[in-house]
Structure 1
Amino acid sequence: MSPVNKLGRYVHKINQQGPWLRSWLLTQLFGRAIKFAGTASVQVAELDFSHSLLKLKNKTKVQNHIGSVHAAAMSLLGESASGFLVGVHVPDDRIPLLKSMHLDYVKRASGDLTAQAQLTQEQIQFIRSTEKGEISIKVQITDSVNVEPVLAEFVWAWVPKKRN
């Protein structure tokens, strides 16, 4: 799949590197673009044009009062996994925007977290070819014992940069 925007071109180029360097470069790119994700130390383990895998270590700066990852940090991780994936497809003349998120916190998280998001080929084509639209993405967030502590769904929209 060929890139349609500047971010996609960066990701495509980075993905030609070795696995360790790839993750480090993607994490640096993302952390500089999205300052809050950089501050929280969200790690981009994998990102291609249809799948993202992000990680968040259970460190003091993202913990709640009981020592697990804070609910807001969980939402940041899910938003990041879905948003970075959408971002590689939105053409440069449009702006991606988070429209809504729905999170159900169902279990206490243990240890580090991993978030995975996927787009179908139909969703990718819709993002790339529709001037203004929205899609819903379910993000699977699991903890270090493979429990899904939060059920998460994010609705992303995109609009033209210039208003008519």
Structure 2
Amino acid sequence: MTKPNRVVRQIQPLHKLPSWLFSFVSSFAFNRLVPFSRTAGQKFVRWDHTGVEIFLKNRKKVQNHIKTPHAAAMVLAAETASGAAMAWFLPDDKLPLIKNMDVAFVKRASGDISAVASITPEQIAAMENEEKGSFWVEVTITDAVAIEPVIAKMEWAWITKR
């Protein structure tokens, strides 16, 4: 990218903060743009050029009937991580849109959830050079005992803003 986009300009300076404060401020900023993220209580652990890590505490408001993280909450974390990873590299004249989700629930989750996503160099080049397009972003979701209860990938598209 020749010039840092709006996300980079806003988030990169926060990396000078202690990690707990980075998490608070970056999560607050994102939650102002996406209020549903605040409702679920998602927190940014990492958001930079290497990728994004989202933390979701297993608390009552995101639990299912067996007191484990709800399926929708885990998908939300995956969608947020993949979308934020894409947003780091998306030129300011492009608009991101979620297009598809491929999610398989393979094990029961235990405790808190972490969702990690990153973008490949080929995906970055496509966003920079094509007016519109799409690609799949794989997301690793782990629980408190390091099990991957969900296999997820999100298809993100972009178009040029009007």
User: One-letter code of the match for 2:122?
Assistant: E
Distance in 2 separating the partners of 1:110 and 1:30: 26
What residue number does 1:41 align with? 41
Distance in 1 separating the partners of 2:3 and 2:52: 16
Query: Is the 1:49–1:88 Cα contact (8 Å) retained in structure 2?
Result: yes
- CA 113–52 in structure 1, closer or farther in 2 if over 3 Å, else same: same
- Secondary structure, aligned partner of 1:151: strand
Q: How many angstroms does 1:121 deviate by?
A: 2.2
**How high is the TM-score relative to the length of structure 2?**
0.94
Distance in 2 separating the partners of 1:10 and 1:85: 14
- Secondary structure, aligned partner of 1:55: strand
Q: How many angstroms does 1:87 deviate by?
A: 1.2
What residue number does 1:158 align with? 158
- Secondary structure, aligned partner of 1:88: helix
Distance in 2 separating the partners of 1:3 and 1:9: 10
Sequence identity (%): 41
- Superposition pairs for residues 6-17 of structure 1, below 5 Å? 6-17=6-17
- Secondary structure, aligned partner of 1:15: helix
Moved more, 124-133 or 98-107: 124-133
Q: How many angstroms does 1:125 deviate by?
A: 2.3
User: One-letter code of the match for 1:101?
Assistant: M
Q: How many angstroms does 1:51 deviate by?
A: 0.9
* Unpaired runs of at least 5, structure 2: none
Moved more, 27-36 or 101-110: 27-36
Distance in 2 separating the partners of 1:109 and 1:142: 8
- Secondary structure, aligned partner of 1:145: coil
Backbone CA RMSD of aligned residues: 1.4
The answer to whether residue 78 in structure 2 is matched with residue 78 in structure 1 is yes
Q: How many angstroms does 1:89 deviate by?
A: 1.6
- Secondary structure, aligned partner of 2:16: coil
What residue number does 2:121 align with? 121
What residue number does 2:55 align with? 55
Q: How many angstroms does 1:2 deviate by?
A: 6.7
Distance in 2 separating the partners of 1:57 and 1:119: 25
